[in-house]
Structure 1
């Protein structure tokens, strides 16, 4: 028989994991970071160029203009010392400079330490245009910069408005830079949200398909060309898988009917022969053959036709525990409250039932535990039997595989119990793992995503 259901579950799980690797939970934030980081770098480069070139040049020219006015005042005072008041009034009115002359004053020989770009450029302009000892004070007043210049027999003090030394284009540039960045960020956010939305829908559709659930609505390709291509490929893949499962299920249903018909005739013929040791042996062989055929068909079919519904997994586990306890099996069952999720109830019941049957066949005590573990559900089935060597645990899931050392071939069944259980778990998007049990035997861990 084919193991197509297991391959289908594995393929769906691989596609789901591939989509998740492309679409982490924080994809939208990371996509925005891809836009934000270059935007920030662009603003940093623009600001650097502005301050290093434009602002530096403009500040230098403003400084040269102010120092040129001071040099002009000094020249006028040298030519006509008696017109000092008239010169000061004209300069105050036209150049917005407040001038004061202090005869007999002498500046200190030590120049104060320059701080900032403004004082540095202003000092350079003073050395170039005025060429006299000077002191710059940009700290004592908020609205003005004070410049003291040593003349021949006096000190000329000039109060320069800061507006003459600063360019308003600096603030305009910053406002435009921040404003356009916010607009670009908003547009990029809307664009990325529209692009990420179809990828998230594709991820949800793949995840639902990998868990064996029917989509709530038809998934339609939308978004960018690459996303539409990926969505179209997913739709084609899912339809092929569903069609393959339906065809295989229909074919196996026919095979099941064809095989059961001759077996039924054989049972009737044996019954007509009467009760003899030979007929009892033949009847037992026919019953065994019927059970084997049923196991084979169940394995090949993989419960592919059952729909996923929202139900309580804890109740399923509790019902199975009660059934096995009523059958005389020493079983300890514990369920951590209600565990409501989407699953195929009959298929999952068969999965856990096979694991309990396997544990009870080789152990004298069975423990079953079910509960939530983060974003997954786990069902643990433990026994105190001989267990399975670690190197053979993966082989135990192979169809018709028989363990010679730890399992008795005459009582080990058809070798399909673990294979059927793993196929069911993988159909739900999960898996089964074999581990050492704390009770000394084997632990089967069924892990299903929520």
Structure 2
């Protein structure tokens, strides 16, 4: 059966958006495997991916830079530098082969001296001949140590151009390479400068590549830091506004999209403030208009003759109940959002509220640290705590207040030994008029939650260790 489609092709079931695409419905196992594979890869990479926007943006910049450097070095070292290294090694090997050929052609001692002098002057090679010697194993050549690319290039070039026994010593002199060539009548020692075998362009290339990349990375980091700072300020302003703290409009800065978001936030904040102000003024006028006829009713009841006083007492109680309900409605609608948050000692506030109701109900015990200061709207929080205490005193014989600090939060718990509220009905108790009973208006818990959320916190109901109800207020530090 085809699914029901609502207006404009929107499916009425909210879970329809999570349904698999048509190709997945045609082949469910393959789609499920792909989804599981993506989830596995995402879970494997999640510990290595930073959570902050700045770190992620810099990682996006850094990874292409590193990959580009690796490719450039591989291409340069694997092609150009390799060719240059072979050519330099071939040049040194050719010079050594030329000297060996001259010594073979002119074996006279006087001619050897001339060849050594010309090689030192024109070829930059220091020569020495050891008559009667033979080549042996040198400490520079070890089977456990592999040849470096440059050493291998030089050995291959010498093997190609000399066709005689030889060995090379790279360890004895850090500035030269000693080449020993076995001749029929002795050993020729050739000392070649290492600068003839190395190309300085590699170091210049690496320095330029790394330096340019670091400069680009630093510039990108500075620009990204400015953009992220604007986002952080926007997030801080939104969080403070959500907690009811007045910070004023934020200054739009950064990229155009960030400026647009900041301007939208300032407009939203102004609209919310305007709406709350208009609603509060309207409800204040309604409250005034309602209290005027109630006052006239109270005055009329007081002027009734003495024989009607019994009926007047009941009507006076009804009028007082109506006045109390009007005040509660006004407080609930206003939400106490116009008060500015100031540093307040939560412990002192709790002790003050515990002592206020001692005459009309059970005494309230307070368990708290010496002090705990955090930004609060004191009058609103007094109303919140007062509503919780009124509910507890109305239904219990013993009430306690516990204040404690947790990482990032301050908790204030009100416990009683009353009948409590069943777990299934606790969330519904916060709805307006859901808990209406004698002596109350049904708005106490609704107003308390509204005030707690206006502070950026929350209020929850649970089972008390005393056997009754526990109301816990969590406030951000």
What TM-score results when the alignment is normalised by the length of structure 2?
0.82
1:10 alignment counterpart: none
Q: In the alignment, which residue of structure 1 is the partner of 2:412? A: 379
Aligned twin of 1:272: 303
Instruction: Show the 5 A alignment for 1:23-422.
Output: 26-82=52-108, 83-108=111-136, 113=143, 114-215=146-247, 217-275=248-306, 276-402=309-435, 410-411=437-438, 413-422=440-449
Alpha carbons of structure 1 residues 59 and 25: separation in structure 2 relative to 1, 3 Å:
closer
Which has the higher mean CA deviation after the structures are superposed, 75-84 or 414-423?
75-84
How far did 1:29 drift?
4.3
Greater shift, 25-34 or 77-86, is seen at 25-34
Any conservation in 2 of the 1:69–1:95 contact (CA below 8 Å)?
Answer: yes
Change (3 A) 1:174 1:288: same
- Structure 1 contact 112–135 (Cα < 8 Å) conserved: no
Q: Deviations over 1:171-191 (max 9, x none)?
A: 323332333233223322321
Q: CA deviation at 1:151?
A: 2.8
* Structure 1: 5+ residue stretches without partners: 1-23, 403-408
Kept in 2, the 8 Å contact 1:370–1:377? The answer is: yes
Counterpart-to-counterpart distance in 2, 1:137 and 1:339: 76
| 1:429 alignment partner, SS class | coil
Contact 2:361–2:393 (8 Å) recurs in 1: no
- Aligned pair in 2 of structure 1 residues 444, 290: CA closer, same or farther (>3 Å)? same
Counterpart CA distance in 2 for 1:434 and 1:55 is 74
How many pairs align?
420
Q: Which moved more, 1:88-97 or 1:41-50?
A: 41-50
- The SS at the match of 1:223 is coil
Judge conservation of contact 1:267–1:286 (CA < 8 Å) in 2: yes
Q: Greater shift after overlay, 392-401 or 44-53?
A: 44-53
Aligned CA distance change for structure 1 residues 229 and 330 (closer, same or farther; 3 Å): same
Check whether the contact 1:313–1:341 (CA below 8 A) recurs between aligned residues: yes
**Alpha-carbon distance in 1 for matches of 2:427, 2:56:** 38
Say which structure, 1 or 2, has more relative contact order (CA 8 Å, 6+ apart): 1
Deviation at residue 31 of structure 1 after TM alignment: 3.8
Aligned-residue RMSD, C-alpha: 2.3
1:313–1:338 contact (8 Å) kept in structure 2: yes
- Contact 2:249–2:266 (CA<8 Å) still a contact in 1? no
1:90-113 Cα shifts (integer Å, max 9, x gaps): 111121111222333333499854
Query: Does the 8 A contact of 2:412 with 2:472 survive in 1?
Result: yes
For residue 358 of structure 2, give the secondary structure of its aligned residue in structure 1. helix
**Other-structure match for 2:3:** none
Runs of 5+ unmatched residues, structure 2: 1-49
> Does structure 2 retain, via aligned residues, the 8 Å contact 1:249–1:305?
no
Compute the displacement of 1:244 (Å): 1.1
Please tell me whether the aligned partners of residues 352 and 421 of structure 1 are also in contact (alpha carbons under 8 angstroms).
yes
CA distance in structure 1 between the aligned counterparts of 2:76 and 2:448, rounded to whole angstroms? 69
Q: CA contact under 8 A between 1:318 and 1:335: conserved in structure 2?
A: no
* 3-state SS of paired residue (1:212): coil
SS in 2 for 1:342: strand
After TM superposition, give the deviation of residue 425 of structure 1 in Å: 0.8
Q: Determine if the alignment matches structure 1 residue 436 to structure 2 residue 463.
A: yes
d(CA) in 2 for partners of 1:234 and 1:172? 51
Distance 2:305 2:125 in 1: 132
Shift of 1:442: 1.6
Contact 1:429 1:448 in 2 (8 A): yes
Q: Quick one: distance in 2 between partners of 1:25 and 1:109?
A: 59
User: Cα deviation per residue 1:292-312 (whole Å; 9 max; x = unaligned)?
Assistant: 222122211212332333333
Question: Matched residues in 2 for 1:434 and 1:38: separation?
Answer: 53
Does structure 2 retain, via aligned residues, the 8 Å contact 1:397–1:418?
Answer: yes
Shift, 1:426, TM fit: 0.9
Closer, same or farther in 2 for the Cα pair 1:436/1:44, shift >3 Å? farther
Aligned counterparts of 1:382 and 1:124: Cα–Cα separation in 2: 89
